[in-house]
Structure 1
Amino acid sequence: MPVACRVALSVSLAVTFVATTHAGAVQIGVSDLAGMPGNKPQYVIISFDGAHDIAQWKRSRALAAKTGARFTYFLSCVFLLSRDMRKEYKPPGHAVGGSNVGFAQTRQEVADRLDEIRGAAAEGHEIASHGCGHFDGGKWTKAQWLDEFASFKRIMRDAYTINGIEGEPADWRGFAESAISGFRAPYLSTSAALYNALDEASFRYDASAISRGPVEPHVESGTERFALPQIPEGPKARRVIAMDYNLFVRHSGGFDRPDEAAAFQARTYDAFTAAFEREYSGARAPLQLGFHFTLMNDGAYWKALEQFAEEVCVKADVVCTSYADYLRRTRKAEGATAAPDAGG
């Protein structure tokens, strides 16, 4: 299994795209690109596995407001349970109330996270599923995966009630039951059983695969399959999965070295920029970048992301958007239409 997300991870949900004005960014829709070279925008799909830390919710949403980007948040449902309510989760093959990434510490923390989820969705971001307890399900059966998906839906739908949080919005349950269209497997650990379960559970897409470089998604076993690319990085241009954790392992063996953070940030920014330029001046396959809500090497990878997004996402022929919105924009044959005035 490839090295991937071994730290506290999470988040994603398909919602109506809402354009937001922002300083320095250009508001465009796909139709506005008709006169541009190649008539094809460069898509950049940025996602977060984690959605645990409230400060990082706010930081990512601020970056989106500044650049016009829209993100996918792959949510782990255990972060919608306070520790007192952890036995509401029954993980396949593990003890009741188990989790590899813990739970919310308090009911107030859950309430704050629900506010962030609702705020992000209203801004046009996507909330998708990262399962619940961040277990490696590579050997799970189809039935076990279906149990995990059912737990995610129930815990998300009933989060206010389970935790005794007042003021549940009238539209929350409908949103929780119908808006989730995508999934990313913990540790990027997949199997035929997972893909069969995804199809039966009516997921639109999976974003757990890995490819040698940026590639278009394809339909297999009933779902669109996206792959995080391996991109050249560092002085020897060795390929690495375009995800912060994999860069963390490459740069410092998975141990924090804050004194070298500036160098790691520069290497990451250079790798992202080079990968972007190859597609932007070439085939324009979507560039996918993955992150977590954990700050590694003194936040070097988030700083590189912010630098990259502030330069790239404001370009008139670049669309930094979510997985769900990418599919809405590009699958016209299936009746999807581009959202009006979608941000770049």
Structure 2
Amino acid sequence: MSRPLASVLFAAALLATGSASADPPRSRQLVRPKQAVIISFDSARDISQWKRSRALAARTGAHFTYFLSCVFLLTKETRGAYSGPHKAAGKSNIGFAASKDEVTERLEQIRLAASEGHEIGSHACGHFDGKDWTKADWLAEFASFRHVLQNAYAINGIEGEPADWRAFADKAVTGFRAPYLSTSAALYQALPRAGFAYDASGVSSSPVAPRTLGGVTRFTLPQIPEGPKGRQVIAMDYNLYVRHSGGFERPSQAADFEERTYQSFKAAFDRQYAGGRIPLELGFHFTLMNGGAYWNALERFAGEVCVKADVECISFHDYVARMKTAGTPNAGG
């Protein structure tokens, strides 16, 4: 066999066995996962902020998680329906709803949000620090939350309870975030017993993929670089408020605080979007701190990234469901 013919046959054999160094077919090229952004709101009190957040979602296609505090489904007259662990009946660190009409409006916002694909999670009830609570204490607090949510119409004497309300209240709440992000071994023992699928109370030094332990998927709010010196701060509006103004209102500097917050969110997003695509979690409250700087930054950020084709601004519940469907309970993205 001549050398030229042998070379041709050898090259053909390499191609036939797939050993040749050639670009893979386009269908075999790795498709990157969408970048997930998980935006949540703690306590979920103010009616105008319910409406504002839902309007933001409608503009951007986002789905949010609302971690509800059950005391906002009770009034001064009905607050005795709740007793926190080791607390007298009707005690709360964050107050109660101002009126029956306010509770009625909040229930309507909850129903509308759920119908639009948003998630209702639990932020417990009285916003107490449960770091020293026992497993039994946590189970009692979780039971109080479910009782108040299920019976909110009846407790407050509100007519027109939807036929499916109690079934919704019993089944829809699958996630939890602890007040003050205060966790303990007892909490993690109680969560699966109470039927929770995930917990979003953790804090990490940077965005990390959620992991599942003991049947409960654990998410963490990341610390992200912020400000001229790039110092780490938890990606939550209250922590930014303390960073920027020591927890005191400085509305005259709202524009500066907004810009710093937006740039911090965007830089954290860009790192994941261009890198490992670990989900980015951002936390908020319904309080407009420092002249609304943090909500303004949120609206700018969501308006820019949630509309991207390869980004999904998604609830915790839907992200957990996506993980289970993909069969990757200990992986993110």
Question: Superposition pairs for residues 10-21 of structure 1, below 5 Å?
Answer: none
Structure (1 or 2) with the greater helix fraction: 2
Verify the 8 A CA contact 1:78 1:102 in the aligned structure 2: yes
- Work out which of the residue numbers 221, 237, 248 in structure 1 matches 2:241: 248
* Secondary structure of 2:291 counterpart: coil
Verify the 8 A CA contact 1:229 1:242 in the aligned structure 2: yes
Instruction: Provide the residue aligned with 2:123 in structure 1.
Output: 130
Instruction: Provide the residue aligned with 2:5 in structure 1.
Output: none
Instruction: Provide the residue aligned with 1:269 in structure 2.
Output: 262
The Cα of 1:83 is off from its aligned counterpart by 1.2
Q: Distance in 2 between matches of 1:72 and 1:168?
A: 23
Q: Does 1:301 align with 2:294?
A: yes
2:248 maps to amino acid: F
Alpha-carbon spacing, 1:35–1:237, altered in 2? closer, same or farther (3 Å):
farther
Verify the 8 A CA contact 1:85 1:162 in the aligned structure 2: yes
Instruction: Provide the residue aligned with 1:71 in structure 2.
Output: 64
Alpha-carbon spacing, 1:335–1:249, altered in 2? closer, same or farther (3 Å):
closer
* Secondary structure of 2:147 counterpart: helix
- Work out which of the residue numbers 192, 202, 213 in structure 1 matches 2:206: 213
Q: Distance in 1 between matches of 2:164 and 2:76?
A: 26
Q: Distance in 2 between matches of 1:267 and 1:35?
A: 41
2:213 maps to amino acid: E
Verify the 8 A CA contact 1:50 1:294 in the aligned structure 2: no
1:316 maps to amino acid: A
After superposition, give the CA deviation of every residue in 1:102-159 in whole Å (9 maximum; x if it has no partner).
0001000000000000000000000000000000000000000000000000000000
2:207 maps to amino acid: P
Q: Distance in 2 between matches of 1:335 and 1:283?
A: 15
- Work out which of the residue numbers 317, 333, 344 in structure 1 matches 2:310: 317
Q: Distance in 1 between matches of 2:290 and 2:75?
A: 28
Segments of 5+ residues of structure 2 without an aligned counterpart are: 1-26
Alpha-carbon spacing, 1:202–1:334, altered in 2? closer, same or farther (3 Å):
farther
* Secondary structure of 1:168 counterpart: coil
Structure number with bigger Rg: 2
1:320 maps to amino acid: C
Q: Distance in 2 between matches of 1:332 and 1:49?
A: 27
Between the aligned residues of both structures, percent identity stands at 65
The Cα of 1:327 is off from its aligned counterpart by 1.2
Instruction: Provide the residue aligned with 1:201 in structure 2.
Output: 194
Q: Distance in 2 between matches of 1:294 and 1:38?
A: 40
Q: Distance in 2 between matches of 1:121 and 1:192?
A: 31
Q: Distance in 1 between matches of 2:206 and 2:160?
A: 46
Q: Distance in 2 between matches of 1:106 and 1:162?
A: 13
Q: Distance in 2 between matches of 1:169 and 1:222?
A: 32
Instruction: Provide the residue aligned with 1:184 in structure 2.
Output: 177
2:231 maps to amino acid: R
* Secondary structure of 2:78 counterpart: helix
* Secondary structure of 1:245 counterpart: helix
Q: How many residue pairs are counted as aligned between the two chains?
A: 303
Segments of 5+ residues of structure 1 without an aligned counterpart are: 1-33, 337-344
Verify the 8 A CA contact 1:36 1:317 in the aligned structure 2: no
* Secondary structure of 1:267 counterpart: helix
* Secondary structure of 1:152 counterpart: helix
Runs of 4+ in 1 over 2 A off after TM superposition: 34-39, 333-336
The Cα of 1:38 is off from its aligned counterpart by 3.6
Instruction: Provide the residue aligned with 1:112 in structure 2.
Output: 105
Alpha-carbon spacing, 1:127–1:92, altered in 2? closer, same or farther (3 Å):
same
The Cα of 1:177 is off from its aligned counterpart by 0.5
Q: Distance in 2 between matches of 1:140 and 1:303?
A: 37
Which TM-score applies when normalising by structure 2? 0.89
Verify the 8 A CA contact 1:45 1:321 in the aligned structure 2: yes
